[in-house]
Amino acid sequence: MRRDVVLVGLLWVLATLVGEYVVSTLDIYPPKAALEAEHIDQAIRTLLMLAVPVFNFVVVVMLYSIWRFRARDEAEVGEPIYTHRTFTVGWLVVTSALAAVLFYNPGYVGWKFLKSNPTADLEIQVTAAQWHWHITYPDYGVSLKSRPIGFARIEENPVLALPAGKRVKFEVTSDDVIHSFWIPALRMKVDAVPGVVTTMYVTITETGSYEEDAVFRVQCAELCGTGHPRMTMPVVILEPEEFEDWIKQQQMQEAMGGSMEGMEKQGDGH
């Protein structure tokens, strides 16, 4: 038995070293375009690094037991095991300690970072409804409205433009059920709740567009009915000067009563 414990211990250490190497070097993270995104990816990395030893312990003990203690000829019922106090208490203490570490960081530290700076260069209002987004730039009198056409034809929807290097405040609400406003490239997401305005601050760092990567899109992230996956629209992040040009273009279009009104007529009449 002692030999088994030593062997399992060695296998566990080996599997953990390999696992830690993989999760700390493997780049599974899609393009990111916000300061907050760095922190969120780092939080996922931390979670994986703490999960590796626990996961490997369970898997190594299980596989070793299946291999070493399997019934070879005739199956017989072994001695019953009632409890192992040291192991039970040890397991509880170690896993609780790991959870406590996570509650503090990235939990509390990350939450404080996301909430610590309520200033913004630009304000954007977002109203969700089954199944479209209504986006308004109140400082510029520009508004956009998506239609529920989904991922395959996402390019037919108006584009949500954001300026790189600026801090943006999103004020989010809903006209009907709970939705969730999510831009994967920013890694940030906030629920859209009817009767409540939720806020989300994001510091945009990089330019990018939907053509480059599908993470540059708005996506509803709270199941809200049959049209839920179709609540999507492309995002483009522009240099500030290009963003100003984009705004002027939108203002001109709106002044001409052009595309926007046409789009609303084609919409579902919301």
Q: Which residues bind Cu ion (CB under 5 A)?
A: 179, 220, 224, 228
Which secondary-structure segment (H or E) carries 179?
strand 179-183
**Cα–Cα dist 160/262, whole Å:** 18
For the CB of residue 68, give the shortest distance to Cu ion in the complex, in Å.
49
Which secondary-structure segment (H or E) carries 65?
helix 35-68
For the CB of residue 198, give the shortest distance to Cu ion in the complex, in Å.
15
User: Measured from the CB atom, is 205 or 232 closer to Cu ion?
Assistant: 232
For the CB of residue 220, give the shortest distance to Cu ion in the complex, in Å.
3
For the CB of residue 270, give the shortest distance to Cu ion in the complex, in Å.
15
User: Measured from the CB atom, is 127 or 207 closer to Cu ion?
Assistant: 127
User: Measured from the CB atom, is 182 or 216 closer to Cu ion?
Assistant: 182
User: Measured from the CB atom, is 65 or 226 closer to Cu ion?
Assistant: 226
**Cα–Cα dist 250/90, whole Å:** 62
**Cα–Cα dist 86/89, whole Å:** 5
Which secondary-structure segment (H or E) carries 169?
strand 167-174
Which secondary-structure segment (H or E) carries 247?
helix 240-255
Three-class secondary structure of residue 19 per DSSP: helix
User: Measured from the CB atom, is 32 or 179 closer to Cu ion?
Assistant: 179
Judge contact between 121 and 165, C-beta under 8 A: no
For the CB of residue 37, give the shortest distance to Cu ion in the complex, in Å.
22
